[in-house]
Amino acid sequence: MTIGEHILDLRDFIAASPSSFHAAHESGRRLALAGFTQLAEVEAWPTHGKFFVIRDGAIIAWVVPETATATTGFNILGAHTDSPSFKLKPKPTTGRFGWLQAGVEVYGGPLLNSWLDRELQLAGRLVDVDGTETLVATGPLLRFPQLAIHLDRSANDGLKLDRQGHMNPIWGQGNPANEDLLGLLAGKAGVQAENIGGYDIMVADTAPGQVFGADNEFFASGRMDNLTSVHAGVVALIAAASDGANHKEGAQGPKIPVLAAFDHEEIGSGSRSGACGPILEDILVRVSDSLGASASDRRRAFANSLCISADAGHAVHPNYSERHDPANHPVLNGGPLLKINANQRYATDAVGAAVWAKLCAAAGAPYQEFVSNNDVPCGSTIGPLTATRLGIRTLDVGTPLLSMHSARELCGVADPHHLARIAETFFSAVV
């Protein structure tokens, strides 16, 4: 893909992925079209080929070349499918004064003000009492209406939003006692409301992604943290597998390329489908078992493996430059970030940094370094979690953004394409 084609494909991928469950499904759909086979975790698995597993809102995909052995290492690109938002509560139909409202719980750390006065949707999964899962996305349905400045003259002096009192979106008019938001969702999904046993439903923006700027150099969309990385990984794995590139051998022999897109990163990754959970280890163990690996062989394979944790990072903000490190100022369209933190909030070390530099050179793609201002502690991501859980060397990278955790984030059009090219080089095991 060209840079322009990639950003439009990313736009379409994000539009098809308003929840983590939709992102896993859309990734699987694209992989299946490229010849990957979806496997069920309860069944026995074949050894060599192109496969993926979906567990809730996470997806793991991999390619086992014919040259793989019991000690073949893994080249893993990690990402996450969730974004800061709001999640539908039990008994979600609320309201007063003739308004119908939705009871929602804050998910992760969204910039609350960025969600005001937008046309929003509900998206996620409904689960019947028999266990059948159905994806649903309503399209424009809700809105968090901001209080008019005439009624809050101090709004521009410092808007303060109460999570419980102010973040209750409206979705209609009427008496809550006579309405049923869950029934509306069931109707959209084509299932019977009385059969719904559970649901995981998120709020998502409905505005499509948009390329803009004097030279069309910017791209704005929701959920770029972290669908830019998930999309890059899917595109790269399909490309690496399509022409036999995964059969190339680097200095340490063949590798098994793996895309690991976890859920729940924004709330700590502590789930069966999160990076703190067993999903990646489950897959790697089963793959190595199918190759006849002993426990010792598997440890040798892990020692010969590398994980690139790809998540969003911060570009320098022109209006708040004092919040950034004085010497390191990443910019949009300057290439993906190599994220570094002395306290291991990012897992990058000197060895990983050298590998990253080599990968970028081989891909012909630029990169930039990111480090935080000492007075502004950075967040973290799945990198340190994966390194700690599996003992696999891990480094943290990501696409530079402005407005991270906003309902609508901003990146440069070239950076997601650069990340995909680097990921394809990584999956192809050419370094």
Q: Residue 283: pLDDT above 70?
A: yes
- What is the rounded (10 degree) CA torsion for 17, 19, 22, 26? 30
Rounded CA Rg of the chain = 22
Query: 219-266: per-residue pLDDT in tens?
Result: 999 999 999 999 999 999 999 998 654 445 544 568 999 999 999 999
CA dist 331 and 316 (Å) reads 6
Whether the CA torsion 394, 399, 403, 408 is positive or negative: it is negative
For the sheet with 49-55, list strands across it. 37-38, 49-55, 58-64, 255-262, 73-80, 306-310, 393-398, 337-339, 368-370
Q: Which residue's entry shows tokens 């709001």?
A: 86
For residues 19-28, give the mean pLDDT.
98
**Lowest-confidence segment of 151-155, 318-322, 407-411, 420-424 by average pLDDT:** 151-155
How many residues appear in the chain?
Answer: 431
Tell me what pLDDT residue 396 has.
97
Three-state DSSP at 156 gives helix
d(CA 289, CA 237): 22
- Cα 264 to Cα 272: distance, rounded to the nearest angstrom: 9
Identify whether the C-beta of residue 232 lies closer than 8 Å to the C-beta of residue 420.
yes
The pLDDT of residue 252 is 53
Question: Could you tell me whether strands 73-80 and 255-262 are parallel, antiparallel, or unpaired per DSSP bridges?
Answer: parallel
Stretch 378-383: mean pLDDT, rounded? 89
Rounded to whole angstroms, the Cα distance separating 11 from 9 reads 5
Containing 240, the helix (H) or strand (E) segment is helix 224-242
Task: Give the pLDDT confidence score for residue 246 in this predicted structure.
Answer: 45
Residues forming a β-bridge with 61: 52, 259
Query: How does the average pLDDT of the chain come out, rounded?
Result: 95
Omega before residue 373 within 30° of 0, cis: no
Residue 227 falls in which region: left (phi positive, over 0), alpha (psi -120 to 50) or beta: alpha
Structure tokens at 425: 């080089």
Q: What is the pLDDT of residue 431?
A: 67
CB atoms within 10 A of CB 88: 21
Q: What is the mean pLDDT of residues 79-83?
A: 98
80 close to 275: Cβ distance less than 8 angstroms: yes
Closest of 220, 264, 219 to residue 79, by C-alpha:
264
What was the pLDDT predicted at 380? Answer: 86
* Three-class DSSP category at 320: coil
Segment 27-43, tens digit of pLDDT: 999 999 999 999 999 99
In SS3 terms, 341-357 reads as: CCCCCCCCCHHHHHHHH
356 pLDDT more than 80: yes
Q: How confident is the model at residue 429 (pLDDT cuts 50, 70, 90)?
A: confident
Strand partners, 314: 401
Contact predicate 339/346, CB 8 Å: yes
32-40 LR contacts (CB < 8 Å, sep 24+): 34/238, 34/241, 34/242, 35/241, 36/61, 36/241
Q: Which amino acid is at 64?
A: V
Contacts of residue 373, Cβ cutoff 8 Å, sequence gap at least 6: 322, 323, 324, 325, 326
Listing DSSP states for 19-66 in one string gives SHHHHHHHHHHHHHHTT-EE--TTS---SSEEEEEEETTEEEEEEE-T
- Picking from 428, 416, 422, 8, the residue whose alpha carbon sits closest to that of residue 227 is 416
Here the tokens at position 154 are 């101090």
Judge whether residue 430 has pLDDT over 90. no
